[in-house]
Amino acid sequence: MSTLYQASESGFYGEYGGAFIPEMLYPNIEQLKSQYLNIIQSDDFQQEFIQLLKHYVGRPTPLYNATRLSAEYGSTIFLKREDLCHTGAHKINNAIGQVLLAEKLGKTRIIAETGAGQHGVATATACALRGLPCIIYMGAKDIDRQRPNVSRMQMLGAEIVSVESGSKTLKDATNEAIRDWINNPVDTHYIIGSVVGPHPYPEMVTLLQAIISKEIQEQAKKKPTHIIACVGGGSNAIGAFYHYLDDEEVQLIGVEAAGHGIDTSMTAATLALGTPGVLHASMTRVMQTIDGQVIEPHSISAGLDYPGIGPLHAHLSDTGRVLYHSVTDQEAMKAAHQLSRLEGIIPALESAHALAYLNNMDHNSGQTIIINLSGRGDKDLATLTNGISDETE
């Protein structure tokens, strides 16, 4: 476990993090802060969690040697197949963990925000498994572009609340979920889907996703030279990086969504363009105006369409331990098509950003690159196939 990059007592990673919460949330956050570590480190919890990860989620997920993709680039490329998790993305690791935690905290109602719908589906799944009522906040725009996941959540018995405020995407869905929690402080647990939000969420979600890099360590026959993951809030990336943070020989690369390009206004590349500020109760890098109003981001990928980033990523960017780059909507689309044709794997548009970065690297046969394939692309078929017809026009 990394000791260099743990949150301080008050939840700060360097200058980022903390809990900038209104007083209404204070008792909830205090309860979580004082109890969550004891609970998730208890034998009781671990036993049940590990059993579910193994037999329900399908872990460990394979570390797959992508030989045709490797041949294309001239280095050895492995895919960490989080897309093979039950529900089709890494989000389930966190959702299962937090639902078990909520039970131990005595909570009887679960709320969550979702962007691409993967976290919503994962939460709805975990709630169905445990028989808990589940309310999912989702931006109206995301409901439109991620229809399959909306139907899945409904099938699983979740109530979907369409969020009509602001940009009608992940940022606003998160605002509404926080407001719900303010209004229901006693019986409700809020499952944040990424390493964002007030302390202790970034740390808690990091620990629940760290299983990804733990498995990579066990599976990789040779130490990787690079690990690459896409970054929106940053939960799959931190999961893939976590156990390598102290090993400087492994180059860690986070790939943000540049949207139409970081020199345009249609972008979601927070570390490229953001400045320190408070968003969703955490000090982090934020895309904002000079007056501190949050800017509506753009990415073709609903899961990366977020104007903030986990505070640990902001810190890792400042310290230089992780390099953060960005790729455009078009580059991600192309990478999704490439992987589909070369390996028979349709990646989520989010994960396609990590794949697209392969084009921006120098390759050689001595390199072993691991890409965290955070999710599968079924939910993105409408967008992806639209792209095919565009290309042939």
Q: By CB under 8 A, name the binding residues for other proteins.
A: 10, 18-24, 26-27, 165-166, 171-172, 175, 178-179, 182-186, 277-281, 286, 288, 290-294
Question: What minimum distance in Å lies between the beta carbon of 134 and other proteins?
Answer: 21
Question: What minimum distance in Å lies between the beta carbon of 51 and other proteins?
Answer: 35
Closer residue to other proteins (CB): 197 or 375: 197
Closer residue to other proteins (CB): 248 or 291: 291
Question: What minimum distance in Å lies between the beta carbon of 41 and other proteins?
Answer: 25
Question: What minimum distance in Å lies between the beta carbon of 202 and other proteins?
Answer: 16
Closer residue to other proteins (CB): 81 or 280: 280
For the purposes of burial, counting CB atoms within 10 Å of the CB of 31, is it exposed (0-12), middle (13-18) or buried (19 or more)?
middle
Closer residue to other proteins (CB): 74 or 292: 292
Instruction: Annotate 236-296 with three-state secondary structure.
Output: HHHHHHHHHCCCCCCEEEEEEEEECCCCCCCCCCHHHHCEEEEECCEEEEECECCCCCECC
388 token code pair: 């095919």
CB atoms within 10 A of CB 10: 10
The values of phi and psi at residue 278, to 5°, are -105, 125
Closer residue to other proteins (CB): 179 or 223: 179
E-assigned strand segments in 142-200: 159-163, 188-191
CB atoms within 10 A of CB 130: 15
Question: What minimum distance in Å lies between the beta carbon of 255 and other proteins?
Answer: 26
Alpha-carbon distances of 274 from 232, 233, 239, rounded to whole Å: 13, 13, 23
Residue 381 neighbours by CB under 8 Å, 6+ apart = 148, 346
List, in sequence order, every residue forming a beta bridge with 78; answer none if it has no partner.
65, 370
**Pairwise CA distance, residues 344 & 314, whole Å:** 34
Q: Closest Cα partner for 307 from 273, 331, 330?
A: 273
Closer residue to other proteins (CB): 207 or 309: 309
Residue 391 known to be catalytic: no
Residue 70 known to be catalytic: no
Which is catalytic among the residues 113, 331, 343, 350? 113
List, in sequence order, every residue forming a beta bridge with 373; answer none if it has no partner.
81
Question: What minimum distance in Å lies between the beta carbon of 17 and other proteins?
Answer: 12
Residue 91 known to be catalytic: yes
Catalytic residues: 91, 113, 374
